[in-house]
Chains A and B, each alone.
Chain A
C-alpha cells in the first residue's frame, strides 16, 4: 500500500467503518523497536515467574541481549540502505525509516546499553544484610522509613523491575524520533515518559527526595503532554490529518481540497500557528529548554544517578530527533514563523543554563544546568535549517550522550556514609586522593566545556558552523559567550578537584565492578575518538542527514 493511501486510516474516520483497510506492518523495518518492546514484555513475565534470586541476572542478561540485538537490527537496516536510498515510511504512515531515524536509534541504543551497565552495578553500595544491592530501592511501594521497608531491606530485595521499565522507555524513545504522524508522536512520548517517571522514584537512598522528583516530573510532564495533545488537535483541525506529509502539504499550500467535516477550520492559519507552537512546547519541555526547563535540576538531582545519566542522554536524543523531524518535515513551510521564536528560546536557554549553573553547589544540579545550556547549543544547530544543521545536531547528540552518561557514572563512584557525595565541597582535593577518577571526570568536564581534542569541541564546532552558515551568526556569538560562561564552572570543578586541599572527612571513591568501569571507559574513549578523529562519524551523520517525506 502506498504511503499516501495510508493517511486514510486517520483522515477518513468520518466515513463508513467497512472502508477501513487492514493495516500492513513492515515488521523487519520496525525490528529495533519491536525487539526492545518484546524484551520488555518478557521482562515483565520474568518478574512474575522467575525466582527472586536469579531475577537480577536474567533481567540484566535479557536487557543487554535485547539492546545489542536491536542495535544489530539498526546496523542491518542501515547497511541495507534504509538510511539512504531505500528510506521509506512504514507501518501505514506511522513510522519513518530513514537516515536520521536510524542514526538516532543507533545512538539511543548504544547510549542505553552503557547506561544499563550502571543500572546493573551492585558493588558500590555496601552490602545490606549480606545482599549485594544496586542504586534502587528494596521495595518501591513501601513507605520510606517504615517497617515494611526495613523488612524488605533485610530480606535483600531489589527492584529488578527497573530493567523492563527502562526497556519500555527505550522503546518509546526509539519510536519518538521516527514517528511520522502526530498521534504516534504522542504515544511514543507517553511510552517513554511514564517509565521514566517511575524510574525517578526508585532511589535506594534519599527516597523522599527521589519520590518528590518523580511527582514533580510526572505533574509537569502531564501538563506538557496536555499542551502537546492540544496542539495536535489544533493541527488536525487545520490540516484535516495528523500525518506529517499531509500537514506539510497543507502548510505549503499544495493541497487545497477541503474535508467537508472540517470546513470551518481547515486552512485557518491561527490554528496552525497556535497548534504548532503548542507541539513545540511539548518537545521543548522534553529537551529542557528555558522556560520549560524548571523540572530538570530537581529531577536530575532526585532521581537515582544511573537513571539521571540515562535520562539526560537518551531523552535528549529522542526529543531532539522528534523536534528535528517536526521542524524539517512538517513545518518547513512556516520556518519564517518559528525561527525567530526558536532563536529567542535558544538564546535564553544557552545563557540561562550557563548563568544559573555558576552558583550551583551540587554536582548533579550543576550537570542539570549544564544539560540545559547544551540544549541551547543544540537548538542553535536545529535553527540552521540546512542539511548541515541536521547532521551537526545528530553528531552533537551522539557525542553529548556518552559524555553525560560517563560523567554521571563517575558521580556514582564518589561516596560517603550517606551514599553519593554530591555536594561540591566534598569534591575538593579529589584529584589528590583518586587522581585517575578525577582525571576522567576532568576529561568529561573539558568535553562539556568544548575544549579541543574532545568530542564536545567537535560537536560544538559543527553546530555553530551550521548555525553560522544557516544565517544565525548572532546566535553563534551568544553561543560562544555562553560557552565561555559555562567554561567557568566546569573549570572551577577541575580546580576544586586538583588544586584544593582534600577535606579530612571527605568522601571515598568506591571501586566499581567492570560494569561501571566499562561505562566510564566507553565514555572516555568515545569522547576522545570523536574529538581527535571525528571525520568518519561526521561523514556518517551527514550521510544520514536526510529526512524521508
Chain B
C-alpha cells in the first residue's frame, strides 16, 4: 500500500462522524444508537489494524507517516496545520484506544441497556474516541491541544452523565476545574514553544532542543508536567480522579483507567527530547511519579468503595508510568509498555467491578460483598487474572512491565536511583496488599450482603436498575455482551506482557521514536526481580492475614490515623479547601470589595459627574433665539481670535 497515510484521518473521522450522527440524530436513533456507536468505534479499530499491518511491512526507520489535511490558521509567521503523524508511538495508542474502546462499547451495550439516554452515552463515547485519537495523532502541539481539550470535554460529559445525581454533577465539575489548571500549563507551554521555536510541529520543535537554553526548556518541561499532572491525576492535581468514579463504570474503565488518564504519559514521552535536555524537569517528573505511586496506593488500601479503590490503584499505576517517563531514554519504552498492559488489566478490573455491581443491586461497598466467586464465575476468573496481572504475578503482563520499570528506576544511578527504586518496590508491595484486599473482600469469605437500601435515602442507584427496598441482592453472571469484553481483556492481561518482552520486541518497536538505552542497575536484574517477587508475597500475605483469615465487619472500623486520612483521600480535598478555596474566597472577597468601592466608585462617580455636567450645560439651551445668537457671535469672535493668534504664534 502506498497511500496508506491517507487513511490516518479516517481513524479520527469515523468516531467523530459517529458522535455527530448520534448527538444530532435525535430520538429516532434511540433504538439503534448503541449499534451505530459500536460500529464506528470498531471501524476505527479496523482502520488502525490495517495501518498497523502496513506499518509492520516497512523498515523500522520508514514507519512514520504524515498526512496533512489543510492549513488551519494560515497567518504570516504563524503556521498551524491540521496534520497527522502516525509513528510507532501513536500506533500503539491507536490500537489501545480503538481496541479497548471497541470492547468497552460492546460492554456498554449490556451495561447501559436500561438507560433512557443510552444513545447520548454512545455519542459521548464516540466523541471521546475521536478526541483521544486526535490527541495522539496530531503532528503538532496546537492540534494536540485540541484533542487534549476534547477528551476533557468528553470526560466532563461522561462523569456527569447521571447529572440528576448531585454527586455526579459535582464530580464532573471538579474534574473539569482541576483539569483546567493542568490545561493552563499546556497552553502556556505551547505559547512558550512558539516564542522559542517559532513553530508547533513536533519535528522542528524536538530537533531544535539542542540550540535552546536549558532554562527555557526546563520551564517548558515543568509546564508540560503540570499539564500531565492534571490529565493523569498526579500529585498535586490528583483530587478529581476518585470523584470521577461517579460516572458509569464503562467510562471509568475506558477514560479513567485505560486511555485518557494516560495522556500525560504520552505527552511526556512525546516531548522526550525536551526533558532529555532539561534534567531538572526530568527529575521533577520522576519525583511526581514516585510520590503519586505511593499516594495512590495508600488511598487504594483504605477505600471500601470498589471503584474508588481501583481509582487509587490507577493513580498509583500511572505514577509508575510517569516515574518511568521521568527516567529518560532508559524508561520511555517501559512507561508505554506498562501503559498498554495496564490498559488491558485495569480496564478488565473495572469491567469486572461493573459486572459485580450489576449483580449486586449497584452496591459499591466491598464490605457488603463476599463469596461472590460461586455466583459470578466468569467475572471471578477474568477479574482474578486482572488481579494477578496488576500485582505482577510472575509470567503475567504486569510482572514484565512493572519489573522493567523498577529495574530502570534503580538504573537511574546514584542516590536518586536507590530512592526511586526502593519507592517503586514499596509500591509493588502495597499494590499486592490492596489488590488482594479487593479480591478477598469481593469474591471470598462470608456473604455479607445487605438488603437494598431505601432509594429515597440513597438516591445514588444507577437508573434503570430496578431495586426494591429491602430486597436481598441476587448476584448473577452478567450478559454475554459484558462478559465477552472481559474475557478478551483477560487474555490481554495474561499474555500482552510476555509477548512484548519476547526478544524485547516492544522496545525495538518503539526505539525509533522514543530512543532507548539499556539501563544498568547497580545490582543485578535477577536480584531486583527476586525483590519484586518478595515484595509481592509480603503484601499479599499481610492482606491475607487481615482479610482472609478473620471475618470482615460490614461497617468499617475506625482505623488508625493513616487509615482515616487515606479514606479521605489523604486529606487532599481538605488541603485544597483550606489553601485554595479559602484563599480564593478571601481573594474574591477583597476583589469584590475593591470593585464595589474603588471601581464602582470611579464608574458611578464618572457617570454622576457627567450627568451633573450635562444638567448644567443643558440650562444653556434656554430656548431664546437671542441666547443662541450670542453663542454664535461669541463662537465666531473666539474662532477669529484663535485663528489670528495661531498665526501670531
Contact = CB atoms under 8 A, between A and B. Distances in A.
Interface of A: 215-216, 219-220, 223-224, 227, 269-270, 273-274, 276-278, 280-281, 285, 290-292, 294-295, 297-298, 336-338, 340-341, 344-345, 352, 355-360, 485, 488
Contact of A292 (B607, B615, B620, B635): B635
A362 to B, nearest CB: 12
B636 A281 contact: yes
B627 interface: yes
Top-5 shortest CB links A-B: A291-B635, A294-B628, A358-B614, A359-B614, A277-B640
A359 B627 CA distance: 20
A355 B646 contact: no
Nearest to B646: A337
B617 to A, nearest CB: 5
Contact of A298 (B620, B623, B640, B647): B623
User: In terms of DSSP, what is the predominant structure of the interface of chain A?
Assistant: helix
B627 to A, nearest CB: 7
A277 B643 contact: yes
Given A337-B647, A341-B646, A356 B621 contact: yes
Given A281-B635, A337-B647, A355-B617, A273 B625 contact: no
Contacts of B640: 273-274, 277-278
A268 B192 CA distance: 66
Given A220-B625, A295-B628, A356 B618 contact: yes
Contacts of A285: 632
A337 B634 contact: no
A63 to B, nearest CB: 32
Interface in B616-645: 617-618, 620-621, 623, 625, 627-629, 631-632, 634-636, 639-640, 642-644
Contacts of A341: 639, 642-643, 646
A488 B607 contact: yes
A298 B629 CA distance: 14
Contacts of B614: 355-359
20 contacts: A220-B628, A220-B629, A273-B640, A273-B643, A273-B647, A277-B636, A277-B639, A278-B640, A281-B632, A281-B639, A292-B631, A294-B620, A294-B628, A294-B632, A297-B621, A298-B623, A344-B642, A355-B614, A355-B617, A359-B614
A298 B607 CA distance: 26
Nearest to B633: A223
Contact of B617 (A281, A338, A344, A352): A352
B602 to A, nearest CB: 14
B613 interface: yes
B636 A278 contact: yes
Given A274-B643, A292-B635, A358-B611, 8 more contacts: A227-B636, A277-B643, A278-B640, A291-B634, A292-B631, A294-B621, A344-B642, A358-B610
A215 to B, nearest CB: 7
B647 A355 contact: no
B647 A269 contact: yes
A338 B623 contact: no
Contacts of B613: 355
Nearest to B636: A281
Contacts of A219: 625, 629
Contacts of B642: 340-341, 344
A184 B615 CA distance: 41
Residue in A270, A276, A359 whose Cβ sees the most chain B Cβ within 10 Å: A359
Contacts of A224: 632
Contact of B628 (A216, A277, A345, A358): A216
Contacts of A344: 642
Nearest to A365: B621
A82 B615 CA distance: 50
Nearest to A488: B607
B644 A270 contact: yes
B642 to A, nearest CB: 5
A215 B629 CA distance: 13
A338 B642 CA distance: 9
Contacts of B643: 273-274, 276-277, 337-338, 341
Nearest to B607: A488
